[in-house]
Amino acid sequence: MTKRGSVYYVRFIVPKERWQDVGRATNARNGTRRDIVKSLETKDYREALRRRDVALAKIREETNAALASLGLPPLHGDWEPSWGNIHHRLTEQALAARKELENADTYRAPIYADDDPTSGIVVGEDFSDKDCKAEIVQDILSEIAQEITQRIAGPAGQRAATEAYQQAHAIAFGEATPLGVLLDRWFPALEGTVTQELIDRHHRAFSRLGLCLATSEGLKTDDPEGYVRSIPIERIDKRTAGHFREWLEKLPSIGPRVVGFHLSTMNSFWKWAQDVGYAESNPWEGSTRGLKKKIAKASRERGEKRPYTDEELIALLTQARERLQHPKKWPWACVIYDMLRLAPLTGCRQNELASLTVSRVIRPIRPDQLWRISITEEVSKTRSSTREVPLHPIAQAVIAQRLAELPEGHSQDAMVFPECKPGGRDNKPGHYLSKRYATFLKSVLGEKPEIDFHSFRRCFATFFTTAEANGAQHCSELVLDHLIGHKPPSLAHNTYAAKRFDWSVYDRAIMEMAEKGISDHLRSALSYPTTTSSA
């Protein structure tokens, strides 16, 4: 999805090899079409999410119809999944039958000898309503399952049809519960408690599980999440969990960290399923064992994340200042230059700075105190991240200039960095800043995966520890945890010590950090005045 103004749109990506075909079919002006954008006709994010899949299906349907009118193949070409929607149909039919059977009458009328009730001799029982419906259900499920033999020839097809029937039969008669029923309860329960980015990650995990299970059955599917939703939760055991991990680790496109994410998704879901009574055990418990070492090894090979060197920071600051002279060519130069001076002096995360509002800038009454910025719960990453951070005079000058450039009569909710429009799945102000900064970083320092925006927090921690080593009295590890928004690791610090000290402690710590933890030439580069207004 994307947003234009206040309205949400859906963007359908056309496969590269079909750009010209779709361009012809849709009468594109330049003859090619890379994507198709349609309005979802709503300003509400959650409503847009609900409409997205329907809109994409409609765009695909209309595009395929346009291609067919020109005698061109559909977007997916001539390929058809070997199992089609048979498993989905079986599951839907079984779930509908389950409701019917649960409500059916189980009474069986007695059958008397010679059909004479007065004889009192019962020789049998008539079929109940539930018995009749059960026979009909079995016949329907068997008929649908046999369609698989038309797609998969030979014994393999017959075996797949038998397994599909048995699975659907267990669902219909209440002996098994398909994952789809539970996922439709689990995902809504996550809304509002975790980020949309994490929910998307969960969907990708189940999609890959579906692809793994379909592949192991010799099936093809263009909807792997749809396939896994038809699988009963009772079918997933320790062996399946182990096979899934092995299958993931063989994929060339993902590393051990992503493998860990997917296994963590499964573990979280199964814990929830246990809590609501649909899983007797959790087959994913312990499935990530040994991954930490693999992740550490991959990190070493890729390059351990680290803080910027003084030379790198000075190069970034110098290049950003040069780009300030060409605001039309480099519209994000001023934002990036301000962030280059704020981030290493505050230790704040990208979104914590990008989302800064006027109300979160705290100006003390006493002249001997530093300005502060407040990191509130709605923008903090964790509960420990809610805090107030003093602004060194260099950082204070950046914020003061930003406030002076805001229009007259601005509200307390006005954004200090209005260029940082919310975006992404979670509608965060840091979304576009993240993309623009990554491009800027690569253009200045080249491909260096070991440094990113988060490396400014590493710089802040490095400055702090360096200052402490050089004799700074207030730059202790506990003060650093308070300022950077980490929960102190020791019991004495996180349970018994004060959660917040007098503000003079933090003010002095920030000043000592800059004086004894930052080199003179870097401090000079950070304090270099801005000559071009962000306006």
Q: Are residues 270 and 401 in the same domain?
A: no
What is the domain extent for residue 258? 185-302
Pairing of strands 7-13, 2-4: antiparallel
Q: Of 276, 302, 328, which one is at a domain's C-terminal end? A: 302
Helix (H) or strand (E) holding 95: helix 86-103
3-class DSSP string for 158-227 = HHHHHHHHHHHHHHHCCCCCEHHHHHHHHHHHHECCECHHHHHHHHHHHHHHHHHHHHHCCCCCCCHHHH
Q: Rounded CA gap, 375 and 49, in Å?
A: 29
User: Within a domain: residue 391?
Assistant: yes
In order along its 535 residues, the chain shows pLDDT tens digits of 888 888 889 989 998 888 989 998 888 888 889 899 999 999 888 788 888 888 888 898 899 888 888 888 888 765 555 444 677 777 778 778 877 877 777 777 766 666 666 666 665 666 677 778 788 878 888 888 888 787 777 888 888 888 888 888 888 887 788 898 889 889 999 987 888 889 999 999 999 999 999 888 877 777 888 889 888 898 899 999 999 999 999 988 788 889 999 999 999 999 999 998 888 899 999 999 988 888 777 766 666 789 999 999 999 999 999 999 998 899 999 999 999 999 999 999 999 999 999 999 999 888 889 999 999 888 877 766 888 999 999 999 999 999 999 998 899 999 999 999 988 877 889 999 999 999 999 999 998 888 999 999 999 999 999 999 999 999 999 899 889 887 766 544 555 455 577 888 999 999 999 999 999 999 999 987 654 444 3
Q: 367 with 500, same domain?
A: yes
Q: How many domains does the chain contain in total? A: 4
Do residues 164 and 210 both lie within one domain? no
CATH number, domain of 501, equals 1.10.443.10
Find all residues with CB under 8 Å of 75, minimum gap 6, and list them. Answer: 14, 15, 18, 22, 60, 63, 64, 67
278 within domain boundaries: yes
Are 499 and 358 in a shared domain?
Answer: yes
Residue 126 lies in a domain: no
The reply to whether 413 and 517 lie within a common domain is: yes
DSSP 8-state class, residue 498:
-
Tell me, yes or no, whether 169 and 190 share the same domain: no
Q: Residue 276 domain-assigned? A: yes
Sheet with 2-4: strands ordered across: 2-4, 7-13, 35-39
The helix/strand/coil state of 12 is strand
Q: Tokens representing 437?
A: 């900064």
Residue where a domain stops, chosen among 176, 198, 231: 176
On whether both 293 and 342 belong to a single domain, the answer is no
Spatial distance between the Cα atoms of 245 and 258, rounded to a whole number of angstroms: 11
Largest CA distance in the chain: 111
Do 144 and 190 lie in a common domain? no
Indicate if 408 and 335 belong to the same structural domain.
yes
- Domain co-membership, 361 together with 244: no
What are the E-state strand segments in 241-378?
361-362, 372-375
Q: Are residues 425 and 504 in the same domain?
A: yes
Residues 286 and 328 in one domain: no
Pick the last residue of a domain from 302, 331, 366: 302
